[in-house]
Amino acid sequence: MKTLEEEQSVSFPMEIIKEILSRLPVESILRFRSVSKPWLSLISNPSFTKLHLTCATVAHRTAFFIDARDDTPDEQYFLSAHDGGPVTPLITLVYGADFNVTSGAQHLNGLVFFYIKKNISDNRCTHQPFVVNPSTRKIFKLQPPELFIKGKVLICHLFGFDESTNEHKILLIRKFVKQPTSIVEIMVFSLSNRSWRTVDVEPLPTGFSWDRLDFHHVFSFCLNSVVYHLLEDSFDIMAFDLRTETVSLIKTPLTLGVAPHPHDGVFDEGPCIIKFNGCIALLCHYHAPENKDMHFWILQDYENRIWVEETITLPKALDELDLPYTMGHVDMDKIILSTNFELSGDVMSVLVYNKKSKCMESIQFTPGRQFPLSNELWVNHAVRYVESLLPL
């Protein structure tokens, strides 16, 4: 006969516990690791990590990674925050004369890659890359490869995920500016084995040149194991396949003659690319007084290179919004804009456009006990990431 204590105890199958836990926020799951050894083993299993990421993606369980600066203490902050929640500090850097923060934050599967730009001399600099999981607050500082050639060097970092090997990778492109010709070096860093290796991407596609690569503004993302990066001069798109380590070139409406070219002086700002609802999208602002339109060119048929135009009309003129560009989307309907990171009292606001309601919305963050917001704080960049348990 069962005792009262045995009758009161309820035992669930581990598969049911797994399904329940996979739908919880990362913060809760991290606390539940201490419940028991079986729970710790379950939560630490890579299959559970993958299941949790899938559930978080479907449920749009996301948060913001914010790159901000405060001129009063002369510090740079990398923060995370949920909608309406407190701001949590991840990394604080003293903004000295020896470096200039150029975040270029890129996110994949809950991991965020960014870097700081350090000045070595008047014409030399290096980048210090970081990978962080804002949900678990784990940070990995990469060791940059050595510079074997003296002189001016241009550096571009791109973040991607190779689905064939299940690895997050960082693509490093370094251009050593020398006369009469420059030297370009391509390297790949794998988070799995923690090492850099040089890759040969020859032959290059017809019409492509490393001189056209934009080393200053990182408009890039990874989709289906391919890293896409907007070229500076022609505004075509470079596609680097992490599986085959080959380069291809995608012509955009700007170079196909379908849309006006930036060099014609018809744009308020240069175009940028984003990952929009699982497609490649090119965003343009046409120059006109009181213009309220943002023009999207979406590559809906990748194989046949068919671009479809979509116009979004904002409730305010673009010049009133400081010529925003998008930094991704909250969900299928809400697009994050790069402007109006307002600080009113103790509340920080991020501007969002809702395509469905055709209205502007505001996502607000509150100060936390660990990070009181300063009136001198201003935001350089903010990206949306999915909550994840992925280790570094």
3-state SS record for 97-112? CCEECCCCCEEECCEE
Stated pTM of the model: 0.85
Per residue in 237-276, pLDDT (tens digit) is: 999 999 999 999 999 887 776 666 555 555 555 677 888 7
Q: Own/partner pairs for 242-247, CB < 8 Å, 24+ apart?
A: 242/160, 242/161, 242/162, 242/169, 242/171, 242/188, 243/162, 243/163, 243/164, 243/165, 245/188, 245/199, 245/201, 246/201, 247/201, 247/204, 247/205, 247/208
pLDDT at 4 over 50: no
Rounded Cα gap, residues 49 and 30, in angstroms: 12
- pLDDT value for 163: 94
Rounded Cα gap, residues 200 and 287, in angstroms: 41
User: At residue 48, what are phi and psi to the nearest 5 degrees?
Assistant: -70, -40
User: At residue 46, what are phi and psi to the nearest 5 degrees?
Assistant: -55, -30
Cα dist from 230 to 20, 80, 130, 323, whole Å: 41, 27, 22, 19
Rounded Cα gap, residues 274 and 330, in angstroms: 13
pLDDT at 115 over 70: yes
Left (φ > 0), alpha (ψ -120 to 50) or beta: where does 166 sit? left
**Residues 6 or more apart from 236 whose CB is under 8 A from it?**
207, 212, 230, 249, 250, 251, 252, 255
> In residues, how long is the chain?
392
Per residue in 20-67, pLDDT (tens digit) is: 899 999 989 999 988 888 889 999 999 999 999 999 988 888 888 888
- pLDDT value for 70: 77
- pLDDT value for 186: 93
Q: Tell me the one-letter amino acid at 8.
A: Q
- pLDDT value for 168: 95
Rounded Cα gap, residues 77 and 90, in angstroms: 8
CB 127 within 8 A of CB 117: yes
pLDDT at 167 over 90: yes
Q: Within 13 A of 139's CA, how many CA atoms are on the CB side?
A: 14
Q: Which two tokens stand for residue 232?
A: 């500076």
Per residue in 207-246, pLDDT (tens digit) is: 888 877 877 666 788 999 999 998 877 788 999 999 999 9
**Residues 6 or more apart from 131 whose CB is under 8 A from it?**
111, 112, 113, 139, 140, 142, 168, 170, 191, 392
Average pLDDT for the chain: 80
- pLDDT value for 356: 78
Q: Using 50, 70 and 90 to split pLDDT, how confident is the model at 8?
A: very low
CB 162 within 8 A of CB 225: yes
In this structure, the number of other CB atoms found within 10 A of the CB of residue 17 comes to: 16
Q: Which two tokens stand for residue 247?
A: 């380069």
